[in-house]
Copies of this chain bind each other. A is one copy, B any other.
Amino acid sequence: MREGRLPLVHEDRLFPADPSARAVARRLYAHVKDLPIVSPHGHTDPRWYAGNEPFPDPARLFVVPDHYIFRMLYSQGVRLEDLGIATKDGTEVETDGRRIWRRFAERYHLFRGTPTRTWLDHAFATLFDFDVRLSAETADLYYDRIAERLAEPAYRPRALFERFNIEVIATTESPLDPLVHHKAIRDSGWKGRVITAYRPDPVVDPEFDGFKANVEALGELTGCDVSTFAGYLEAHRKRRAFFKEMGATSTDHGHPSARTADLSPVEAEALYTRIMHSNVTSEDAELFRAQMLTEMAAMSLEDGLVMQIHPGSMRNHNAGLFARFGRDMGADIPAATDYVHALKPLLDRFGNERELTIILFTLDETAYSRELAPLAGHYPCLKLGPAWWFFDSPEGMRRYRELVTETAGFYNTVGFNDDTRAFPSIPARHDVARRVDCAFLAELVVTHRLDEDEAHELAHDLAYRLAKEAYKL
C-alpha cells in the first residue's frame, strides 16, 4: 500500500478512465482551463475586496465559516462549540485556531469521496504547495505554512482575486444593504470587477425574521409609502435601480417552493394588507411570495435584471441548532419541488417574453428530466441554472448534463455558478466544472454523438460564454 505522499491534484483528475475518451477530454480541457473565471452567482463577502485585509488564521479561513465542512464533522459527533462556531447567546466556544484545525485534520478522512475534499486538496496544493495529505500527523505542518502565507501580501483578497483570474464576480445582498463595500471597491481605483445581486427575501418573505420591520426600513431607504402595495412595489423598483447602478445584472429569490401567482391588483392589495396588519398564515405567506415572483418578473422585463429562482430548501431544519447558533448551520434540507404547476401563473403572463431571462435552479434532481428540461426547452424566457448545492459535485454535475441535455440542449443552460462563500474554493470549483463538462463532451464524441470541433466550441461556451451572455456580463 502506498504512503499517502502523492500529488494532491492529478492532471487527469475527473477525466474518463477509458483511454480514447480521456484523450478527447484532455484536448478539450487544454483549450478552456486558462479561461478567465466568470462567477455570476455566489456569496463571497464584498468587505474582503473593499478592505483587502489579510485572511485570519487557517481555521477561520477554511473551517469556521464553511457549513459544508462543519456539518460533516457535526454529523460525526463533533460539537460546533469545539469548532469555534459562535453561539447566539455568546456562551463560550473554542477560540484557539490551531486546536480547531487539529480537530478538523484528524477527521479529514470523513470527507473522502466528497466535493469538499476535492476543492480543499486543490487549494492546499495550488495555493500552499502541499504534496502530502492533511491528517492528524500533518495538521501542524499545514497550520504553520498556511498561517505564514496568509500574512504575505500575495495572499490578500485582491491579490488572490487576480491570481484566480476572475473576470467578474457577483455577491448577493439584501435590498436593505447600503452596499458601502461595493462603493468602496469602485472608489478605490482597483480594477477587479465585483458586482452585487438583488436578493429581496428579507422584504419579500413574510416568514423571514423581522419581515415587517424590514419592509418599513425599505420604505425609509427609498422614500416610498410602503403602507400600500403599490408603494411597496415602487420601493422595490427604486432599490433595484440603485443595485443596477452598483453593477447588479441579476436578482435572486430563495423561496421554499417555486409557487407563483398572478392576482388581480385588488386581490394583491388585500393580501398585502393582511400580511402587514395581522398574524400571517402560512398560506398567505406562501401566496405573497408566489405573487412577488410574478411582480419581480414584471420588473425584470422593465429594467432588464436577470431573475434567478432557487426554490425547494427547507431552511433551518434542526430546531435546536437554530436556537443556539442561528442560520446556515448545515441544516438546510431539500424537499420535493414541483415546477410544472407552480410556475404556470407566472408563465401564463410572461412565458413568451423573449426579452425576459429567468434562470431556474433545483435541489430536487427528479425535476431535471421530468419538468425543468421540458420547460426550458420550450419557453423563451426560461433557462436552466447549473447543478446546485449538494449537486455541485462531479457526480451531480454529470447527472445534470445526462438528464438535461437531450431535452433542453446545451444552449438553454447558463454555464457554471460556484455559489460559494469559500473564497479559496473558487478556482477549484470552476476547474471541476470544466473538467466534468469536458468529460461529458468527450463521451459524446467517442460515442459519435458529437463531432470534436463542436465539442471544442461547446467546452468554451460552457466554461465562459454562456454565463456571460445569460447574466449580461
Contacts and interface: CB of A to CB of B under 8 A. Distances in A.
Nearest to A441: B113
A371 B334 contact: yes
Nearest to A9: B448
Given A75-B378, A446-B17, A452-B1, A369 B390 contact: yes
Given A13-B447, A75-B380, A378-B330, A371 B335 contact: yes
A5 B469 CA distance: 29
Contacts of A377: 71-72, 75, 330
A340 interface: yes
A111 interface: yes
Contacts of A172: none
A402 interface: yes
Interface in A376-403: 376-380, 382, 390-391, 393-396, 402-403
Contacts of A114: 405-407, 409
A111 B409 contact: yes
A378 B74 contact: yes
B319 A133 contact: no
B390 A76 contact: no
Contacts of A133: 451
Interface string A1-40: 1111010011011111110110000000000000000000
B443 A17 contact: yes
Contacts of A336: 336, 338, 366, 370
Contacts of A193: none
A118 B317 CA distance: 41
Interface residues of A, number: 100
Contact of A112 (B6, B111, B348, B450): B450
B109 A411 contact: yes
Interface string A102-137: 000000011111110110000000000000010000
B365 A77 contact: no
Interface stretch (A206-214, A300-308, A419-427, A453-461): A453-461
A12 B448 contact: yes
B370 A334 contact: yes
Contact of A391 (B17, B351, B363, B369): B369
A12 B447 CA distance: 7
Contacts of A380: 74-77
A396 B369 CA distance: 9
A344 interface: yes
A178 to B, nearest CB: 34
A191 interface: no
Nearest to A354: B77
Contact of A366 (B110, B365, B373, B446): B365
Interface in A420-473: 443-444, 446-454, 456-458
A365 B402 CA distance: 13
A374 interface: yes
B335 A370 contact: yes
A396 to B, nearest CB: 6
Contacts of A354: 77
Given A113-B405, A405-B113, A453-B1, A71 B378 contact: yes
Contact of A75 (B76, B379, B395): B379
A396 B15 CA distance: 23
A48 interface: no
A137 B393 CA distance: 39
Contacts of A112: 409-410, 450, 454, 458
Given A17-B20, A352-B318, A380-B76, A109 B334 contact: no
9 contacts: A17-B446, A76-B380, A76-B411, A109-B454, A112-B450, A114-B407, A333-B378, A365-B366, A390-B406
Given A14-B447, A76-B380, 15 more contacts: A1-B456, A4-B451, A12-B447, A71-B378, A109-B411, A112-B458, A114-B405, A114-B406, A118-B449, A317-B378, A334-B340, A336-B370, A364-B366, A369-B396, A393-B407
The 3 A-B residue pairs with the shortest CB-CB distance, nearest first, are A10-B448, A13-B448, A393-B406
